[in-house]
């Protein structure tokens, strides 16, 4: 039986951990408990080292706090960064590649390190202030 990506099993009768539908437990929690005798605290997670949530062998399981787990997955999803020069002040700044790609697809050619430089460049080009149409 499955619950999302995780496998549910009928645990041993002496399993003291959390049960779902009063009958099932996550297989990786039961495997952890059988090998260590430990149940998870409220802020702990069993992480699958090889990222295969169906591989519940004890060697593939690692107990982490929620913050350690978030940091680990944040590091795995490291974003690509592009360095650009501001069209207004020429200072170098960074932008995420996916944001840059979507903006260039929409035809954007000029990039600014901050919103105020974008507005100042519009004034310089004779466009009106976005909040006050009377200011050139």
Q: Which of 69, 32, 26 is nearest to 47 (CA)?
A: 69
Same domain, 56 and 88: no
Give 31-69 pLDDT, tens digit per residue: 999 999 999 999 999 999 998 999 999 999 999 999 899
Residue 108: CA atoms inside 13 Å, Cβ hemisphere, count? 12
What secondary structure letter does DSSP report for 20?
Answer: B
Encoding tokens for residue 4? 């999302």
25 falls within a domain: yes
Report pTM. 0.56
Give 7-29 pLDDT, tens digit per residue: 999 999 999 999 999 999 999 99
Same domain, 99 and 72: no
Q: Which of 84, 126, 87 is nearest to 110 (CA)?
A: 87
Same domain, 28 and 60: yes
Is residue 105 over pLDDT 80? no
Give 72-99 pLDDT, tens digit per residue: 877 666 667 788 899 999 999 888 777 7
């Amino acid at each position: 039986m499955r619950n999302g990506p995780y496998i549910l099993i009928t645990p041993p009768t002496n399993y003291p951990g959390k049960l779902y539908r009063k009958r099932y437990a996550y297989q990786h929690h039961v495997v952890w408990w059988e090998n260590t005798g430990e149940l998870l605290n409220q802020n702990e997670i069993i992480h699958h080292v090889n990222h295969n949530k169906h591989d519940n062998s004890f060697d593939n399981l690692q107990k982490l706090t929620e913050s350690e787990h978030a940091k680990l997955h944040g590091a795995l999803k490291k974003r690509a960064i592009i360095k650009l020069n501001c069209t207004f002040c020429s200072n170098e700044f960074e932008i995420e590649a996916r944001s840059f790609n979507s903006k260039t697809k929409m035809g954007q050619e000029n990039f600014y390190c901050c919103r105020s430089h974008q507005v100042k460049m519009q004034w310089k080009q004779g466009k009106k202030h976005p909040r006050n149409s009377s200011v050139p």
